[in-house]
Amino acid sequence: MTSQHPDHEAAKVWFITGTSTGLGRALAHEVIADGARLIATARDTATLDGLVALAPDRVRAVALDVTDPTAVRDAVDTALKEFGRIDVLVNNAGYALRGAIEELSDTELRRQFDTNVFGALDVTRAALPTMRAQRSGCIVQMSSVGGVLATLGGSAYAGTKFALEGLSEGLAAELKHLGIHVVIVEPGPFRTDFTGRSVRWADPIEDYRPALDPAKKQFLAMHDHQPGDPARAARAIITATQMETPPLRLPLGANAIDRIREHLQARLQEVDTVEALGRPTDFA
């Protein structure tokens, strides 16, 4: 059934990358149900027909490969031509690359960073002139619990999310006085294709198998059994963007919150442990 909104002109404009599946798709559904206007992007716009059908007057499907800078600029230009503004940008497009660092090729590593880091940066930079002119906006960066702690087999993916978190934390400070907010979303395991179709694997090296094979088995066993509900995650993200002062970081799911808390507590303990070694290194 087509969703309606009483005043389309007053409805916020969302721009979401990677809406063909997963959390991006769930978020797009909730945004449409909320009555907002939406630029939904994917490399193949045929995957977005179902979204457009929900509200043809408020939803536009735009082809976008975030690793193509020209396509990024064209997609943002289309959003402005169609709706005149961008209120919420969600950098969701990305994928997981798994394997030991030595197992990963130069091409695989660069593609991972091109998509997860530089793709998000390019879309952000393309949208910022409009948000600056508006003196308003919210940039949602889809990070991960892997943006706080790295796990066996996920070093490259964690590297991209650590990078995104650092860039986004700095970006938030740069934009605060302009009325533009940044929300770094840190999901734990959610029931999407992330552990299935979306993941890519390195060619294994035998010496790493004792460490990585159990981790791979555990990772694959999660598929279709993840505790996180994508629809509830989407609602939490929307709620965060509507706050007067949105949170800089938003962990999603009990798994993420428990693991992040445990990790940060361990880091504080580590600082205490090495303080006697590190503190005296200042000039006397």
Q: Hey, what are 210's tokens?
A: 């004792």
Q: Report the candidate in 110, 45, 104 with the shortest Cα–Cα distance to residue 78.
A: 45
Under DSSP, is residue 244 helix (H, G, I), strand (E, B) or coil?
coil
Cα–chain-centroid distance for residue 98?
A: 17
Given 143, 144, 155, 168, the catalytic residue: 143
**81 among known catalytic residues:** no
Burial 178-189 (b: 16+ CB within 10 A, else e): eebbbbbbbbbb
Given 20, 144, 157, 168, the catalytic residue: 157
Three-state secondary structure readout of 103-164: HCCHHHHHHHHHHHHHHHHHHHHHHHHHHHHHCCEEEEEECCHHHCCCCCCCHHHHHHHHHH
8 Å CB contact between 52 and 41:
no
CA distance to 90, 150, 153, 155, per residue, from 204 (Å) = 34, 19, 11, 14
Largest CA distance in the chain: 72
d(CA 92, CA 120): 8
Given 12, 95, 144, 161, the catalytic residue: 161
**143 among known catalytic residues:** yes
8 Å CB contact between 278 and 253:
no
CA distance to 6, 28, 41, 48, 273, per residue, from 53 (Å) = 18, 12, 15, 9, 58
d(CA 189, CA 198): 14
**12 among known catalytic residues:** no
Residues annotated catalytic, as ranges: 143, 157, 161
